[in-house]
Amino acid sequence: MMKIAVCIKQVPAYSDGMMDPKTGVMLRDGLESILNVYDLPAIETALKIKEEVGADVHIFTMGPSKASAVIREAYSMGADRGYLISDKSFSGADVLATSYALTQGMKLVEDYDLILCGKQTTDGDTAQVSGAIAKWLKIPHVNWVTKIVGIEKDSITVSQMMEEEIVTLKIPYPCLLSVEPSIFIPRLPSLKLKIGSKKKKIEVLSLVDMEDKEEGNYGLAGSPTKVERIFPVHRTEQQKIIEKDSREAAKYILEVIENINK
């Protein structure tokens, strides 16, 4: 039977999060959280494949303990098993450290035939975690996937939406796909599965479980990205209409931007 892993993330429900002014890390405590909407089509894709050819669908999320809520949501859609990658030393991770922890976690459980990710998240929004996971695992990665054309025994054929054309690709397993929201309309959670999901086990994978136990490779310590300065956007209703020719307007805009950072 095919083994599929789906990576999903819990994100703040709104974009006005509080930031730690020193570290530039989002302070998520107290914020309402939801499942990243772009990850719902990834779960749906896995479930459609499961219905068509049979598959074991495993969910992976990295986050604090409350992130287990998104795994329960995936259970109520039909996912089989869920893994929460969680440890104090995993917090404050950038793309490199996030993708590394997810890769380490997945490697502990199975050699997956197919890994599915969403297009991007609504908080970090880098759209790079999926590519980075594929790089760690040394497997092919296809993004902007809009259609599953065929599921074969040792490969999958998909449509990829490029800027001006649609490309059809046949990719051997193991591989990673980042799916576009248009690929499938996510199903609503089933009441029966929702009730069952409350009792379903979620396995927690922490630093002690990982093959690489070096704390410095995870979280803030393992993140080369350093946020230099972070500040809330000052919202104002004020409007100024300035009329200038294009060169003068460009000069003026540059001055305004330079002054923002002073």
Ligand X SMILES: Cc1cc2nc3c(=O)[nH]c(=O)nc-3n(C[C@H](O)[C@H](O)[C@H](O)COP(=O)(O)OP(=O)(O)OC[C@H]3O[C@@H](n4cnc5c(N)ncnc54)[C@H](O)[C@@H]3O)c2cc1C
| Residues forming the site for ligand X (CB under 6 A) | 7-9, 24-26, 36, 38-39, 42, 60-63, 93-95, 98, 102, 117-118, 120-121, 123-130, 225, 227, 230
Of the two residues 230 and 253, which places its CB atom closer to ligand X in the complex?
A: 230
Contacts of 168-173 with CB under 8 Å at 24 or more apart are 169/142, 171/140, 171/142, 172/140, 173/113, 173/114
> Both tokens of residue 114?
């197919």
Min. distance of Cβ 177 from ligand X in angstroms? Answer: 10
Of the two residues 2 and 7, which places its CB atom closer to ligand X in the complex?
A: 7
Of the two residues 171 and 176, which places its CB atom closer to ligand X in the complex?
A: 176
Of the two residues 15 and 168, which places its CB atom closer to ligand X in the complex?
A: 15
Min. distance of Cβ 88 from ligand X in angstroms? Answer: 15
Residue 9 DSSP one-character state: -
Helices 129-137 & 95-109 angle (0-180, nearest 10): 50
Closest residue to ligand X, Cβ-based?
124
Query: Nearest Cα to 132, choosing from 109, 160, 102?
Result: 102
Q: Give the Cα separation of 122 and 106 in Å (integer).
A: 23
Min. distance of Cβ 185 from ligand X in angstroms? Answer: 17
Min. distance of Cβ 93 from ligand X in angstroms? Answer: 6
> Both tokens of residue 205?
């994978």
Min. distance of Cβ 241 from ligand X in angstroms? Answer: 32
User: Which residues are bridge partners to 161 per DSSP?
Assistant: 166
**Parallel, antiparallel or unpaired: strands 55-62 and 81-85:** parallel
Of the two residues 16 and 255, which places its CB atom closer to ligand X in the complex?
A: 16
